[in-house]
């Protein structure tokens, strides 16, 4: 099959997802309002300057609202990844994904294209959030808004792959909604999104270990460095490794002969 066919299919899947998102204004505003509420509420409670930035990429001191912006960016991408996967559960049963999976194109290619489409939507949401948060005085260096883009693509792919992997294990739409809540909140709170890891270690060594093993923590740290035009090689490596693991699990799970659906069907 010609590469032009693959390119047209890839562009079509991505554009379809973006256009569908732009037509769903409620989804856009909910994705924008959620992190803004977190920013305003938490920043109001912790407006005092914290001495938590004694290492790059930060200054010596930063305000709390600036510190949590990367965590809120990752939260936007996590929610978007889960919502995209939720729509995949629906589409797989009766929508466009059911038709796509019957095309001659490889299944892995369709899943990767769908993953990139969801990531493109999350990038739009993040930049809208950064624009609005800048109006409240939460700003970063100019080049940080540019240098964070490839990091956002990588973290968006990783979090989207996590949602895709989870959706491959769910057969009914109602069950996935419960799984979303079970995954999102522990993933977010047991990370460095709201507090630095050293402060977690001071309060609880067990919680610190969980946060240190959480891939979401390294997504937040990669974004935090990226907003200051810096690079955290360890965080990027862990995010990339998690992306490959989750994506491989999703591709395996969506395989009708070897995936979770096949196993359940065989056991019933």
pLDDT at residue 21, as a whole number: 81
The 10s digit of each residue's pLDDT in 12-30 is 888 888 888 877 777 777 7
Higher pLDDT, 195 or 97: 195
Task: Count Cβ neighbours within 10 Å for each residue of 29-66 and write b for 16 or more, e otherwise.
Answer: eebbeebeebbeebbeebeeeeebbeeebbeeeebbbb
pLDDT at residue 266, as a whole number: 46
**Structure pTM?**
0.84
Mean pLDDT of 142-161: 93
Domain boundaries, the chain: 3-256
Task: Say how far apart CA 217 and CA 33 lie, in whole Å.
Answer: 23
Task: Say how far apart CA 59 and CA 259 lie, in whole Å.
Answer: 48
pLDDT at residue 225, as a whole number: 92
DSSP tag of 232: -
Paired strand residues for 62: 50
Task: Say how far apart CA 263 and CA 114 lie, in whole Å.
Answer: 24
Task: Say how far apart CA 27 and CA 126 lie, in whole Å.
Answer: 13
Task: Say how far apart CA 88 and CA 121 lie, in whole Å.
Answer: 15
Mean pLDDT of 232-241: 95
pLDDT at residue 1, as a whole number: 66
3-state secondary structure of 144: helix
pLDDT at residue 54, as a whole number: 38
pLDDT band at 237 (very low <50, low <70, confident <90, very high): very high
Residue 268 pLDDT > 70, yes or no? Answer: no
Higher pLDDT, 201 or 160: 160
pLDDT band at 202 (very low <50, low <70, confident <90, very high): confident
pLDDT band at 45 (very low <50, low <70, confident <90, very high): low
Task: Say how far apart CA 70 and CA 30 lie, in whole Å.
Answer: 18
pLDDT at residue 56, as a whole number: 44
pLDDT band at 219 (very low <50, low <70, confident <90, very high): very high
Q: Give the CA dihedral 4, 5, 11, 17, nearest 10 degrees.
A: 180
User: Which of 28-42, 102-116, 215-229 is the most confident on average?
Assistant: 215-229
Residues in the chain: 268
Neighbours of 255 (CB within 10 A): 15
Long-range contacts of 1-7 (CB under 8 A, 24+ apart): 1/104, 1/105, 5/105, 6/105, 6/109
Which ranges constitute the DSSP H helices of 2-106?
3-23, 25-45, 64-94, 96-100
Q: Check: CB of residue 150 under 8 Å from CB of residue 235.
A: no
Residue 11 pLDDT > 80, yes or no? Answer: yes
For the chain, what is the total number of helices (H) and then of strands (E)? 12, 2
């Amino acid at each position: 099959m010609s590469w032009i066919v693959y390119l047209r299919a890839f562009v079509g899947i991505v554009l379809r997802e973006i256009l569908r998102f732009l037509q769903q204004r409620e989804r856009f505003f909910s994705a924008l309002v959620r992190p803004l509420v977190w920013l305003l509420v938490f920043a109001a409670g912790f407006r005092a300057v914290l001495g938590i930035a004694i290492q790059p990429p930060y200054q010596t001191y930063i305000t709390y609202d600036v510190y949590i912006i990367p965590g809120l960016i990752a939260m936007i991408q996590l929610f978007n990844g889960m919502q995209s996967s939720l729509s995949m559960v629906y589409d797989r049963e009766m929508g466009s994904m059911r038709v796509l999976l019957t095309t001659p194109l490889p299944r892995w290619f369709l899943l990767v294209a769908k993953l990139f489409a969801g990531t493109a939507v999350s990038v739009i949401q993040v930049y809208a959030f950064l624009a609005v948060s800048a109006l409240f005085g939460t700003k970063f260096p100019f080049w940080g808004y540019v240098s964070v883009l490839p990091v956002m693509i990588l973290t968006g792919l990783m979090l989207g792959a996590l949602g895709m992997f989870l959706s491959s294990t769910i057969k009914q739409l109602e069950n996935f909604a419960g799984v979303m809540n079970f995954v999102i909140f522990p993933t977010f709170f047991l990370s460095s999104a709201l507090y630095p890891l050293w402060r977690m270690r001071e309060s609880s060594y067990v919680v610190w270990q969980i946060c240190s093993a959480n891939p979401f923590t390294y997504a937040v740290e990669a974004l935090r460095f990226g907003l200051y035009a810096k690079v955290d090689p360890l965080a990027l490596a862990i995010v990339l490794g998690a992306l490959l693991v989750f994506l491989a699990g999703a591709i395996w799970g969506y395989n009708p002969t070897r995936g979770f659906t096949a196993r359940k069907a065989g056991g019933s």
